[in-house]
Amino acid sequence: MFEKILIANRGEIACRIIRTALRMGIRTVAVYSDADSGAQHAGLADEAIRIGGAAAHESYLSIERVVAAAKRAGAQAIHPGYGFLSENAEFAEAVEAAGIVFIGPQPLAIRAMGRKDAAKALMESAGVPIVPGYHGDSQEPDLLAGEAAGIGFPVLIKARAGGGGKGMRRVDRAEDFSAALDAAKREAKGAFGDDAVLIEKYLLQPRHIEVQVFGDRHGNVVHLFERDCSLQRRHQKVIEEAPAPGMTAEMRRAMGEAAVRAARAIDYRGAGTVEFIADVSNGLWPDRFFFMEMNTRLQVEHPVTEAITGVDLVEWQLRVAAGEPLPKKQSELKIDGWAFEARIYAEDAERGFLPATGVIDEMRFPEDGVRIDAGVRAGDRISAHYDPLIAKMIVHGPNRRAALAALTRALQASHIGGTVSNIGFLANLSRQEDFVSGHPDTDLIERNLETLTAIPTAEDTVIALAAVLSLEGKRPGFDPWDTLGHWQLWSEMQRVVTLDHAGGLANLRVVARGFDMFAVHDGHRVIPIRIASRHADRLQVEADGRQVSVGIERGPHRLCLRLDGNSHLFALADPLDGTALEAEAGDRLIAPMPGFIKIVRTSEGAVVSKGEPLIVMEAMKMELTLTAVRDGIVESVQASEGQQVSEGAVLVTLKAGEA
């Protein structure tokens, strides 16, 4: 077994690998960029080495710097994690050429599966079913358009290199194909350095089901059952589960055998995932699933497989890379219970899942029965240079119903402070009717997007509670003498509070009834409020006869209450100001986050309509299209292609005019 390994990655996966290595008595070496000098993974490892600037190509994507760090540290092996260089055959070759063990498959296997078109041809020859489509080398736009028409819309354009939803576009109509092809090629070129694509038939009721496989140097290959990853947005997974709901023994056997055939076809070693798409228009059937791709690395969602099998997949990776045989045979692997994983991101679901940056000032997760794989801590900054993943939440239960209920409870009890997160969206998704009934599909989120991302409207009791909390005094507790004024003659201590919530103003009268006890008049009824106890920024409250635990986050003229898995934002308005909290006129197009400008689609004097694309920018490895917020005339364009811009930068200004 190795004595020292280097982890060529960052964040959550680096921390996860380090923990298993430490448990096995293996010393670890972390690498970090300038943006990660104080990162958690660097502190967890036995030693850490700086490898370059904040930009990934200057650090985590630099083969030379990573290999040099391993040699400098005397590491015997390198674990690539996922993303970055994990599926780069040249990196694996460079590691081996340096006399270091690559903890992953051999370079030939990575290459065989690295190009989706070649991989599909190889799988077809191995007897693995593939999705109908065009997988040829020619990339002439007219030819691709013709192939798409021949396949029949809808089709899916996919980058032949890489993964993670980059360079992927669904096209429903022939007239939209050209623009979608251009966008997919741009994104693929930026993400993988290869703009070639393939075209596949898009299944209208698909399920994304993948199979975990493992091979060793002794010719052994096993599968560790399936994961359902159908809940996706922008072709990126959101909540995964294992096993797949509705899976029959016959289909599990067929998929498992197909995945093993795929691994044997390339003499696969280590951990890998064979991804299938299943047509579930008439249920799950063994003859209605198709090979999509093989990921030659550990997957983000591997913890759900660990939960139902009791296997530490990173430990298996280390043992197989050290030359040991697989710890278990296929007959020894069993499914125990059900598991879910939810990916918690710094992103704004209400604004199209726009990635967010910022310093995390609080991370609150349940401690009992929940596994949290996190790469950041309170006080860490979410950088614009990398993926905005904060943590993965994993739960396990004896059956699907119990595990899903545990996931919902855990999400409702969690909070990220300092930056926006998708926790509320995930909680809503965990309660979505089709998902709860065991019928997920890859379009479920898109079909229900409006309800899943809707801003929650607070109940009357929550609004009443916000009115009370907005009056909190400087001294501990809720002393009415401190919060509602001092001496009053022949009248109750009271104050009128005006709150702006969900686009409307509410005027409430708060009356003190004693220490920590209040009556709130909302114009319709009187709502009793009692503050039962306080713990840091969380209160136990009795509101209108119901006891709830409430988290509080304060800002200038704002108050955010967190309860039941939802965050309710209140702005504190001046009741005498009739224009309080009036929205901006909407005459500026502003960069929502740091990034660089890829395309400018407008010019000064142009007449534009609301929703018209004006700027295409790239941020956090995503391409964002910014549109006109209203009809008007372009007054100025303050951005140019190739320009790096900061969050809040004004890109385009509009003036009044008819579109």
One-character DSSP codes across 592-656 = SSSEEEEEE---TT-EE-TT-EEEEEEETTEEEEEE-SSSEEEEEE---TT-EE-TT-EEEEEES
Q: Which two tokens stand for residue 8?
A: 């060529």
Please state, in angstroms and rounded to a whole number, the distance separating the CA atoms of residues 355 and 454: 18
* Contact criterion met (CB below 8 Å) for 275 and 228: no
Given 297, 319, 343, 530, the catalytic residue:
297
Residue 551: what pLDDT? 80
* Residue appearing with tokens 């104050």: 495
Structure tokens at 50: 């700086």
Query: Where residue 503 falls among pLDDT bands split at 50, 70, 90?
Result: low
Q: Is residue 109 part of a domain?
A: no
435 and 324 assigned to the same domain: yes
Tokens representing 346? 């710094």
- Residue 147's domain comprises 132-201
Confidence of residue 447 (pLDDT cuts 50, 70, 90): very high
pLDDT at 299: 97
Predicted confidence at residue 502, as pLDDT, reads: 73
Task: Note whether residue 56 is domain-resident.
Answer: yes
Q: How many helices (H) and strands (E) does the chain have?
A: 18, 39
Note whether 440 and 319 are same-domain residues. yes
DSSP assignments along 303-369, one per residue: HHHHHHH---HHHHHHHHHTTPPPSS-GGG----SEEEEEEEESEEGGGTSEE--EE--EEE---SS
For residue 212, pLDDT over 50 is answered with yes
Q: What is the mean pLDDT of residues 187-192?
A: 84
| Token couple for 235 | 């072709």
Q: Do 183 and 231 have their domain in common?
A: no
Whether the CB-CB separation of 139 and 153 falls below 8 Å is answered with: no
Residue 523 inside a domain? The answer is yes
pLDDT at 655: 86
Q: Taking residues 494-511, what's their average pLDDT?
A: 83
Packed helices 177-192 and 141-151: angle between N→C axes, nearest 10 degrees? 120
Cα(227)–Cα(225) distance, integer angstroms: 7
pLDDT, tens digit (0-9, with 9 covering 90-100), for 516-535: 889 999 888 999 999 888 77
Active site (annotated) includes residue 297: yes
pLDDT band for position 481 (50/70/90)? very low
Among the listed ranges 53-67, 285-299, 643-657, which one has the minimum average pLDDT value?
A: 643-657
Q: How many domains does the chain fold into?
A: 5
Residue 178 lies in a domain: yes
Q: From 523, 547, 572, give the residue that closes a domain.
A: 572
Last-in-domain residue among 436, 453, 470: 453
The predicted model scores a pTM of 0.78
Q: Which pLDDT score, from 0 to 100, does residue 139 have? A: 95
The CATH number of the domain holding residue 196 is 3.30.1490.20
Query: Encoding tokens for residue 254?
Result: 């067929």
Residues 512 and 427 in one domain: no
Same domain for 38 and 69, yes or no, is yes
Report the C-alpha gap between 314 and 408 in whole angstroms.
Answer: 27
**Who wins on pLDDT, 199 or 575?**
199
Within-domain flag for 636:
yes
**Does 363 map to a domain?**
yes
One domain, residues 333 and 475: no
